[in-house]
Amino acid sequence: NAGVTQTPKFRVLKTGQSMTLLCAQDMNHEYMYWYRQDPGMGLRLIHYSVGEGTTAKGEVPDGYNVSRLKKQNFLLGLESAAPSQTSVYFCASSYGLAGAYEQFFGPGTRLTVL
Amino acid sequence: TQLLEQSPQFLSIQEGENLTVYCNSSSVFSSLQWYRQEPGEGPVLLVTVVTGGEVKKLKRLTFQFGDARKDSSLHITAAQPGDTGLYLCAVTLGGNAGNMLTFGGGTRLMVKP
């Protein structure tokens, strides 16, 4: 099993450009999450999904959109990138509720917005 | 103000030393998890604690959940260079927020050979 994979691994954008980050998991997990990690701030939840076709806002959703059209994929979109969105983005998945079940993380995408 | 305060933020020690890192809050949690993150990788779960006063051991790592379920500590005995990484605590508040984990800022540990 590959676990949780993310593409791309690195990306540099100019302000105002758009892009989509792809997350895929092969563990048949219902729950999927997108986090961003900034120095000294741990991980902050952007959006999450509790099943195919459902999404919900996390702690810092502004400027991002998500879609879960297939159970194994969770896409994170930036419509108009801003320098404040420079960060490392992690996708995670779990079998059940956060805290009760282990979250499995991908290797991350390092995004720089100039 | 962050929900979870982790201390210290940075810790550099020699191989063989013992250390304790802390995760504190004024809120009560239904569960608390500890993750370790190595450079260039995503976090990996170490342990989940759910009962106040609970102590769990994982080889040289000892985790304790406070009696009131507001804080936790991680003690490492005889640290090794392989313990180097970012240690993160994470909690769920339960109820309507039960689907979300909230992370602390982390303790960055470096163990020198």
Confidence category of residue A35, pLDDT binned at 50, 70, 90: very high
Considering only CB atoms, which chain B residues are within 8 Å of A108?
40-42
Question: Which of B87 and A59 is assigned the larger pLDDT?
Answer: B87
Rounded to an integer, what distance in angstroms lies between the CA atom of residue B54 and that of residue A16?
49
Rounded to an integer, what distance in angstroms lies between the CA atom of residue B67 and that of residue B98?
21
Report percent pLDDT > 90 for chain B. 77
Report the pLDDT value the prediction gives residue B1, as an integer from 0 to 100: 59
* A44, A50, A99 member nearest B33 (Cβ): A99
Q: What is the pLDDT of residues B37-76, one digit of tens each?
A: 998 899 999 999 989 999 999 999 999 999 999 999 999 9
* B40, B100, B103 member nearest A42 (Cβ): B103
φ/ψ (deg, to 5) at B106: 95, 155
Q: Does the pLDDT at position B98 exceed 70?
A: no
Q: How far is A71 from chain B (nearest CA, A)?
A: 17
Considering only CB atoms, which chain A residues are within 8 Å of B2?
41-42
Report the pLDDT value the prediction gives residue A80, as an integer from 0 to 100: 96
Report the pLDDT value the prediction gives residue A25, as an integer from 0 to 100: 97
Rounded to an integer, what distance in angstroms lies between the CA atom of residue A43 and that of residue A21?
17
Confidence category of residue B29, pLDDT binned at 50, 70, 90: confident
Confidence category of residue B96, pLDDT binned at 50, 70, 90: low
Contact (Cβ atoms closer than 8 angstroms) between residue B109 and residue B22: no
Contact (Cβ atoms closer than 8 angstroms) between residue B50 and residue B31: yes
Closest chain A residue to B33, measured at CA: A99
Residues 6+ apart with CB under 8 A from B87: B6, B21, B34, B35, B36, B37, B74, B106, B107, B108, B109
Decide if B40 and A107 are in contact by the 8 Å CB cutoff: yes
Contact (Cβ atoms closer than 8 angstroms) between residue B76 and residue B68: no
* B30, B44, B88 member nearest A99 (Cβ): B30
**DSSP characters over A54-107:** --EE-SS-TT-EEE-SSTTEEEEEESS--GGG-EEEEEEEESSSBTTBPPEE--
Mean pLDDT for A26-37 is 95
Two structure tokens written together for A9: 């691994």
Beta bridge partners of B32: B49, B91
Report the pLDDT value the prediction gives residue A99, as an integer from 0 to 100: 76
Rounded to an integer, what distance in angstroms lies between the CA atom of residue B73 and that of residue B54?
11
